[in-house]
Structure 1
Amino acid sequence: MPHLQSRAISVQTHLRDQVADALRAALIAGELRPGTVYSAPTLAAELGVSATPVREAMLDLAREGLVEAVRNKGFRITELTDRDLDEFTELRTLIEVPTVGRVAGTASTEELQALRPLAERIVTAAQERDILAYLEADHRFHLELLALGGNRHLVEVVADLRKRSRLYGLGHLNVSGQLVASAREHVELLDLLVAGRGAEAEECMRRHLAHIRTLWAGGTEDR
């Protein structure tokens, strides 16, 4: 029994989506462990719902590469290799670094400053070791920043890459307080963008993604 933290699941049209979000949160918190097989009825009992929306949610997570079906047993949480993490980082670097440079030259000061509350929320969440608040603000900051580049398909690709990678290893890093330095890089990046320093903003984003990769490595080793 994984003993998932209590997360309210209301009876609504999108119950499947709510269950999927709850399972992603459990992955982030380290309640669901990579390599372990979980049955839909067991998870359903933990979440207080029927097994059907759990199976449906698990199929969604399988399409994202987060879990894999195990015949007659349930679903196994996917383990990431160092090569997986390297390739995710390479893809994000190829996409996000030049996009940030372009945004520096096209976005207005007002558009960029609108992201400051999110950047500051990331730092606060890291300092308070609130992993879910950190990831929610971090997710919004990165995708809303990229959206200023005007390519919605690019944003969707990065969102998918984040789903496949950012869920692993961060629970331990949050406990150890190692996320604070990474969190502060969001404020630094925003300051460079507001100042119109595109080349430096690109380098900041490149360094930030490399920093994330290092944090992933530490989290997976300790796991």
Structure 2
Amino acid sequence: MPGTGAVTRSTLRQQIADALRDEVLAGRLRPGRAFTVKEIADQYGVSATPVREALVDLSAQGILEADQHRGFRVPEYTLTDYRNMIEARSLVTDGMFQALSTGHPAFRTPPEDPRTTAALVTVRRRGEEAQRAATAGDLTILIGYDLRFWRELSALFGNPYLGDFLDRLRVQSWVCAVQHLLRLPDLRGRLWAGHTDLVDALARREADTARSIVAASNAHSLALLEHLAGT
């Protein structure tokens, strides 16, 4: 594990969870891959307790599944699962964007308000990085920036429960999508890259445009996965 000196159990737990999460999202731990607490503890050279806690945390996020009496495994999500994830995500984002037309406190200030402007600039910067990664076909970098983009965007609405729920859905969506996207030898030009368009629509308080952009993103992603799965 990285770092020197004394490391708390809490820190170990987070480090292990982060490392395994990255492995799953990068597709290096494939769907159906099973492992035990002891296997991971031996791999990292640590005790079983922080490993067990990390694996339980990842199971709660939908990144792993607990395999009763056997350990844990990477979930084998289906296209039906992916469609349901997209539907759930759409219900959440539609509600978020509805706030633009119903006077949610996050968007009650004028567009030129410095607080709103600063927040949107930060989100847009994440979107620009995500777009560069998508254009370059760098899936691992894209996933990282896409998740940060949506976490920061949802944080504008000031409801941590909404942000946590949407983040969980998007992580699960990527876990499902990665297994299919890795079949392509070259992802350049194949991945959605409309993040900054979405931020610009929100900055202009155009809820309908924002919904249309997200709907187009969802349709693009689903069509690509269906094509790769041969359905």
- Unpaired runs of 5+ residues, structure 2, are none
Contact 2:34 2:71 in 1 (8 A): yes
Letter in 1 for 2:60: R
Q: Number of aligned pairs? A: 215
Matched, 1:61 2:66: no
Residue 63 (structure 1) shift:
2.3
Matched, 1:191 2:191: no
For 1:26, the equivalent position in structure 2 comes to 23
The alignment partner of 1:26 has SS state of helix
Matched, 1:204 2:213: yes
Contact 1:37 1:75 in 2 (8 A): yes
Contact 1:103 1:149 in 2 (8 A): no
For 2:144, the equivalent position in structure 1 comes to 136
**Equivalent runs, 1:7-46 vs 2, <5 Å:** 8=2, 11-12=7-8, 13-46=10-43
The alignment partner of 1:14 has SS state of helix
Residue 128 (structure 1) shift:
4.2
TM-score by length of 2: 0.77
Matched, 1:152 2:149: no
- Structure 1 66/115 Cα, relative in aligned 2: closer, same or farther at 3 Å? closer
Letter in 2 for 1:92: R
The alignment partner of 2:193 has SS state of helix
Deviations 1:154-204 (A, max 9, x none): 112112222333223326636644375544211221222233333112111
TM-score by length of 1: 0.80
Q: Which moved more, 1:202-211 or 1:70-79?
A: 70-79
Residue 119 (structure 1) shift:
0.8
**Equivalent runs, 1:64-83 vs 2, <5 Å:** 64-83=61-80
For 1:168, the equivalent position in structure 2 comes to 176
**Cα distance in 1 between the residues matched to 2:190 and 2:143:** 15
- Structure 1 126/46 Cα, relative in aligned 2: closer, same or farther at 3 Å? farther
**Cα distance in 2 between the residues matched to 1:136 and 1:216:** 19
Contact 2:66 2:73 in 1 (8 A): yes
Letter in 1 for 2:31: P
- Structure 1 215/147 Cα, relative in aligned 2: closer, same or farther at 3 Å? farther
Deviations 1:19-56 (A, max 9, x none): 11111111112221212221223233333433332222
- Structure 1 179/149 Cα, relative in aligned 2: closer, same or farther at 3 Å? farther
Matched, 1:112 2:120: yes
Contact 1:67 1:75 in 2 (8 A): yes
Deviations 1:40-77 (A, max 9, x none): 23233333433332222112222233333335532222
- Unpaired runs of 5+ residues, structure 1, are 1-6
Contact 1:131 1:171 in 2 (8 A): no
Residue 113 (structure 1) shift:
2.7
Letter in 2 for 1:191: D
For 1:3, the equivalent position in structure 2 comes to none
Q: Which has the larger radius of gyration?
A: 2
Residue 141 (structure 1) shift:
1.2
**Cα distance in 2 between the residues matched to 1:181 and 1:187:** 17
**Cα distance in 2 between the residues matched to 1:99 and 1:198:** 9
Contact 2:194 2:213 in 1 (8 A): yes
The alignment partner of 1:102 has SS state of helix
C-alpha RMSD of matched pairs (Å): 2.9
**Equivalent runs, 1:93-108 vs 2, <5 Å:** 93-103=90-100, 106=107, 108=111
Residue 129 (structure 1) shift:
4.3
Q: Which moved more, 1:98-107 or 1:39-48?
A: 98-107
The alignment partner of 2:211 has SS state of helix
- Structure 1 56/189 Cα, relative in aligned 2: closer, same or farther at 3 Å? same
